[in-house]
Structure 1
Amino acid sequence: MRNPCIWCCLVLLTLVVCDSCLHEERKHLMDICDAFLWPAGNPPDWSSRDCCRWERVTCSSITGRVTALDLDAAYPSWYGLLNCSMFLPFRELQNLSLGNAGIAGCMPGAGFEVWSNLRQLEILDLSENELNDSSIMPLVGLASLRSPFLGGNAIKNDFIVQRLSKMKLDILDLSWNGIFGNISRAVCNMTSLRELHLNGNFFFGVLPSCIRNLTFLRVLDLSNNLLTARFPTISFANMTLLEQLSLSHNQLEGLLLLNSFSNHLQLKYLRLSSNSASFQVQTENPEANVSSQLQVLELSNCNLNANSGVVPSFLSHQHGLYLIDVSNNNLSGHFPTWLLENNIYLSYLSVKHNSFVGSLILPSTVNQNLSWLDASYNRLSGDLPVDINITFPNLSYLNLSKNFFQGIFPSAVSHLENLSTLDLSYNNISGEITASFPTTMSMNHLVLNDNNISGEIPTSICTNVNLGVVDFSNNKLTGSIPNCIASNHLFFILNLRGNHLTGSIPTGLSSLLNLQFLDLSKNYLSGPLPSLPNLTYLHLSENELNGTFPLVWPFGANLKTMDLRYNQFSGAIPRCIDETFPELRILLLKGNMFEGMVPNQVCLLT
């Protein structure tokens, strides 16, 4: 017969574990909820009795204690100062996320050092906050910590790497902090590291050769620094477990044979673009034997195959890529449509700054994933594809500028509902813009300058409420500037230079408080100048504008460039010009009807 006391104990234990987490921890969770300002003002749903089922809370299935707590984007209510003591009751806490929480430091006596009592805390996310060197330093005393995520803070001293290197870490993320200095050789002692993220800083000097000791690395990201890495090198030969290697946007030098990564069977991400002209990647001699199926490949500005124009042949065996960047390599031949056909998940393709010729031939099948296509600065010609919206229905960025495309403005772009950036500048595109103008509401950059586009500026430009940049300069547009343009308050660049526009400048432009750059030069505009309060750059030359010199009331104090040449402005140049435009760098008044003396205050525009 079973002992009834044993059954009673089992029932009680079940109630403790399953009927909400420990009462003490539940109470402290409610205190935390009150101490934070939650995203969009909506605290998580912590109303049920069982707090182990609450949003952002994870508990142990054995003890019922809290093991993980996600407070991402939840701001401490006390001016961004964190009271670390409030987490001490969670004795089994293993994973704490406080990313993007606006934390600027800790309350006195309640800094990160108190977490040394949390003896199971291994994963700590403090990324995207405002923490500096002194506030971060106590983390070194947390013996259990294995994965600190500290990216996107205000850490500046390279000494932090040396201090953290004394810990037994699996992951170290110090990306995008602005750390200035050399990478300490002490980092080579962290032989248990699986991920090292030092990208987005100001590390300089030669990459330590001892980094080859980190043979367990899966991820190594040193991109966007000032480092010098010289090839050939054995630094990465033993890192055969690497899944991601990013050295892009550094000073890479010498010759890298891509075949040297033939033993890296797990490699998925490879980024090798260089800021230096003395770096070369060779994929053909010897032919690269990349056994792994890559997902991300960046080989920008690396004198690919000695600028022979040869597209890497190993790419014909790659079928899982979703990002390809082979820009600025002088590659030649026809547009590599086969890259799109081979990689059906491709979402980003950049082949800009090469020498591809012929028509832009699209793949025969629809690609739902492609969102970014940049083939600018090539020698492509012919008509733009009329069915680009069908082949790539989800494009958000399309840049075909600086080619030799011709034909009428493509109506297909008006059907790209997700398109936010369109740049067709410096081609030979013609026809009327009105019929095929994109009316998609997501557009924010529309650049069509230096073509032969005609017709009136379509009023549908006013319905693109997200437009911030419009450049129609050096075309053949006629008619007047539509008054409704003032309804788009996000405009910060408006360039209509070099057209055949007539009429006056809409007075409604004075309400565009974000407008920084306005160029209406080389048109047939007349009448006075409206109020333009926040401009930084004003270009109005070669029109028929009149009135007196624009004084303080229409303009702000931020103006740096004023070009009023060849108009019909009259009157005197004001003596208060130095006070009105303290930031003025360029002042061009030639070819008007100004009279009187040039005031001495012009000399104060230093």
Structure 2
Amino acid sequence: MLRKTLTAFQSVRELSLTNIQFNGIVVAVDFRDLSNLECLSISDCGINGTLPAAGFFELRRLEELDLSYKELQGPLPPSFANMSSLRRLDLSNNHFTGNFSSNLASLTSLEYLSFEGNQFEFPISFTPFANYSNLKFIYGGENKAILDSHPSLNGFFPKFQLQVLCLSLETEAKSLPFPNFLLYQDSLTYLDLRETRLEGEFLNYFLENNTKLTNLLLESCSFTGSFKLPSSPLVSLIKIDVSENAITGQIPSNISSIIPKLTFLNMSMNDIHGLIPHDFGQMRSLLMLDLSDNHLSGELLLNTSAAGLTFSLLRLSNNNLGGIVFSTLFRLGWFVNLHLDGNSFTGSISFNISNSLQVMDVSNNHFVGELPSSGMEKLFALKALSMSINHLEGSINDICLSRGVFMFPFVHERANFITKKRSYSYSGIDLAYMSAIDLSDNILNETIPSELGNLTTIRALNLSHNDLREKIPTTFSSLAQIQSLDLSFNNLGGDIPPQLTELNSVAVFSVAHNNLSGATPEMKGQFSTFDGSSYEGNPFLCGPPLPTSCNHNNAKPDYKLPNETYNDEENGNWLDMIDFWVSFSIAYTTILLVIVAVLCINPYWRWVWFYYIESVSINGYYFIEDNF
């Protein structure tokens, strides 16, 4: 049916079947009659299966072919090699397999090639494109990189000058040799080699040769060496991501003058040391700066002559930074996401830094003093706050917690939440649904504010390892979506509110090591899943799952009034005296009868007995006679 339909378009030069659902296999499609066709698009139209061995063979004038977003599979047919006029070829997001180098060898007119999102085997040497003099755009991510069977070909001199190269390939090797053709590129505007595991020194010459570069994305490669800047400014470069490599050395101190329009810089998870350059504070265009997980040291002393900066993200987590930081942040500008966790910052914490603040993580530092009592009422956008593992004092009541829920809003963020001494990492789409308050490992005292119960959509609350006192608020029963509630290692007292059994989503619950008393919550719903570790360290708690029963006959002694105790003691004394005299009389009589029996039976013992009695009597008589 489709063949008969296409015969009516023999003179057509452009044909688009995009989004037309054929719901059939591609074998039924035959384009041999469209010999004048120059542009063909059958993208996202429900065709599946393998490409036919013939059909494309006749399309010698075809310049543009779009086969993207279908369920096509298998290798490319040999007929591809005959479409020598192709300038633009899009095979992206299918299930093609095999090494396509032989099938594309004759397509030397190609300017644009996209084969990302398949299972092609692609030689990292780029030798299949050695004769492509017009090639400018290559999108080949999410395929498999392989080593060339002829390593000597890796050093070919390319005839093309690329503008865009996106690979992000998968590989079974620990690392791949660096493709030498890149040494000859000087017209690149966009380079994406993420997760290619390319070995060798960092591409400093790229920044020197490609002055029109706008994006340099080298995340998760295997580059070593230092990060150096060229002598001339790169006025077009706006994004650099060199995270998760093995880059050493220091951050160039002249970065603001060489890359003046930089908006995004990610150098996290490397081996960079030294100080943070002062002139980061002068980069008005910089929106996102991530220097986390390095070995940076010193204080955050930025030159803030360019006031009014707005950081969508400032992440300095897990370094060796120290000193008083909030005084610098006051002068720097506005923040949306601020991550200072895992350092040695000191001084006090302040909320008077940015009205646009949404996420602030200052956990695992050396901040001291009282919890901030002002400034938070102005943070109308605040959705996530972590101040755990510091030396903070004061009451939680000092923070305006009843205002709303703290959430992690961005799916591209990552965050850690600590409960029961275990750290849980949230990222991606899970983080978008995560809301939490973590104030653990501080010196917070006084009471837990009942207003926390107003945070009805919170997922995790960790107040452990503090000095919180008095009772657990009954309003916690309103935390309908709570999944983790950790109040352990405090000085909380009184009963555990029985209303907490209404929490049907809680999966982690701990009130261990407090001064709680009374019965544990009823073993129903989610609370039937908690063992004794959730309640241990509370000597006055009883009931399951603890071994101590709340039965009054077993758990509590029978206390009596003083006069009742006296009467019992008096009655007990009389009973003891009667028992003593009865026992004494029986014993005395028994001994006397035994002596008489022995004396009657044995004459020798009888003689000795009377002799002893006589001797004692005589001696006693003379003793009295002499003395009295």
Aligned to 1:495: 361
Which residues of 2 match residues 180-191 of structure 1 at below 5 A? Answer: 182=48, 185=51, 191=59
The alpha-carbon distance between structure 1 residues 144 and 461, as it changes in their structure 2 partners (threshold 3 A), is farther
Q: Return the offset for 1:444.
A: 1.1
After superposition, give the CA deviation of every residue in 1:235-257 in whole Å (9 maximum; x if it has no partner). 43343322111223443446565
Aligned to 2:548: none
Provide the rounded CA distance (Å) in 2 between the counterparts of 1:583 and 1:196. Answer: 51
The alpha-carbon distance between structure 1 residues 272 and 478, as it changes in their structure 2 partners (threshold 3 A), is same
* Structure 1 residue matching 2:153: 3-state secondary structure: coil
In the alignment, which of 365, 375, 379 is matched to residue 246 of structure 2? 379
The alpha-carbon distance between structure 1 residues 398 and 575, as it changes in their structure 2 partners (threshold 3 A), is same
Aligned to 1:46: none
Aligned to 1:601: 502
Q: Return the offset for 1:471.
A: 0.8
Contact 2:202-2:223 at 8 Å conserved across structures: yes
Aligned to 1:220: 89
Contact 2:340-2:362 at 8 Å conserved across structures: yes
Amino acid in the other structure paired with 2:140: L
Aligned to 2:462: 563
Amino acid in the other structure paired with 1:368: V
In the alignment, which of 530, 544, 559 is matched to residue 400 of structure 2? 530
After superposition, give the CA deviation of every residue in 1:269-322 in whole Å (9 maximum; x if it has no partner). 11222265x755789542244311111122323449x65653221122221111
The alpha-carbon distance between structure 1 residues 161 and 182, as it changes in their structure 2 partners (threshold 3 A), is closer
Aligned to 1:581: 479
Amino acid in the other structure paired with 2:440: S
Aligned to 1:24: none
Contact 1:399-1:422 at 8 Å conserved across structures: yes
Provide the rounded CA distance (Å) in 1 between the counterparts of 2:48 and 2:351. Answer: 56
Q: Return the offset for 1:266.
A: 1.4
The alpha-carbon distance between structure 1 residues 307 and 602, as it changes in their structure 2 partners (threshold 3 A), is closer
In the alignment, which of 389, 406, 412 is matched to residue 273 of structure 2? 406
The alpha-carbon distance between structure 1 residues 263 and 559, as it changes in their structure 2 partners (threshold 3 A), is same
The alpha-carbon distance between structure 1 residues 256 and 365, as it changes in their structure 2 partners (threshold 3 A), is closer
* Structure 2 residue matching 1:352: 3-state secondary structure: coil
Aligned to 1:319: 186
Which residues of 2 match residues 327-366 of structure 1 at below 5 A? Answer: 327-366=194-233
Provide the rounded CA distance (Å) in 2 between the counterparts of 1:511 and 1:182. Answer: 56
Contact 2:254-2:279 at 8 Å conserved across structures: yes
In the alignment, which of 373, 376, 380 is matched to residue 509 of structure 1? 376
Which residues of 2 match residues 5-84 of structure 1 at below 5 A? Answer: none
* Structure 2 residue matching 1:339: 3-state secondary structure: helix
Which residues of 2 match residues 115-514 of structure 1 at below 5 A? Answer: 146=14, 159=23, 182=48, 185=51, 191=59, 194-196=63-65, 203=71, 205-206=73-74, 209=77, 212=80, 215-223=84-92, 225=93, 227-253=95-121, 255=123, 258-274=126-142, 279=146, 284-287=151-154, 288-303=156-171, 310-436=177-303, 439=307, 441-459=309-327, 461=329, 467-485=335-353, 487-488=355-356, 491-502=357-368, 503-509=370-376, 511-514=378-381
Q: Return the offset for 1:383.
A: 2.4
Structure 2 unaligned segments of length 5 or more: list them.
1-7, 407-434, 507-525, 527-628
With 387-396 and 526-535 compared, the bigger mean Cα shift is at 526-535
Provide the rounded CA distance (Å) in 1 between the counterparts of 2:224 and 2:299. Answer: 27
Task: Tell which structure's C-alpha radius of gyration is larger.
Answer: 2
The alpha-carbon distance between structure 1 residues 504 and 242, as it changes in their structure 2 partners (threshold 3 A), is same
Q: Return the offset for 1:400.
A: 1.3
The alpha-carbon distance between structure 1 residues 481 and 165, as it changes in their structure 2 partners (threshold 3 A), is farther
Contact 1:370-1:392 at 8 Å conserved across structures: yes
Contact 2:436-2:458 at 8 Å conserved across structures: yes
Amino acid in the other structure paired with 1:523: N
Provide the rounded CA distance (Å) in 2 between the counterparts of 1:188 and 1:590. Answer: 72
Contact 1:297-1:323 at 8 Å conserved across structures: yes
Provide the rounded CA distance (Å) in 2 between the counterparts of 1:562 and 1:286. Answer: 59
Amino acid in the other structure paired with 2:114: S
Amino acid in the other structure paired with 1:341: E
Amino acid in the other structure paired with 1:524: H
Residue identity (%): 26
- What is the RMSD of the two structures over their aligned residues, measured on CA atoms? 4.0
Q: Return the offset for 1:342.
A: 1.8
In the alignment, which of 525, 530, 540 is matched to residue 439 of structure 2? 540
Contact 1:307-1:330 at 8 Å conserved across structures: yes
With 346-355 and 409-418 compared, the bigger mean Cα shift is at 346-355
Amino acid in the other structure paired with 2:138: L
Contact 2:334-2:353 at 8 Å conserved across structures: no
After superposition, give the CA deviation of every residue in 1:491-536 in whole Å (9 maximum; x if it has no partner). 3321111112232145543554443332211112232143151221
Amino acid in the other structure paired with 2:404: P
Q: Return the offset for 1:481.
A: 2.1
After superposition, give the CA deviation of every residue in 1:437-460 in whole Å (9 maximum; x if it has no partner). 685524211111111222223356
Amino acid in the other structure paired with 2:479: F
Q: Return the offset for 1:334.
A: 2.8
Provide the rounded CA distance (Å) in 2 between the counterparts of 1:513 and 1:266. Answer: 54
Contact 1:539-1:562 at 8 Å conserved across structures: yes
Q: Return the offset for 1:433.
A: 1.1
Provide the rounded CA distance (Å) in 2 between the counterparts of 1:493 and 1:427. Answer: 21
The alpha-carbon distance between structure 1 residues 561 and 553, as it changes in their structure 2 partners (threshold 3 A), is closer
User: What count of residue pairs does the alignment treat as equivalent?
Assistant: 453
The alpha-carbon distance between structure 1 residues 453 and 183, as it changes in their structure 2 partners (threshold 3 A), is farther
TM-score between both structures, scaled by the size of structure 1: 0.64
Provide the rounded CA distance (Å) in 1 between the counterparts of 2:358 and 2:148. Answer: 40
Provide the rounded CA distance (Å) in 1 between the counterparts of 2:329 and 2:55. Answer: 56
The alpha-carbon distance between structure 1 residues 195 and 561, as it changes in their structure 2 partners (threshold 3 A), is farther
Aligned to 1:3: none
Contact 2:13-2:38 at 8 Å conserved across structures: no
Provide the rounded CA distance (Å) in 2 between the counterparts of 1:469 and 1:165. Answer: 55
Q: Return the offset for 1:413.
A: 1.4
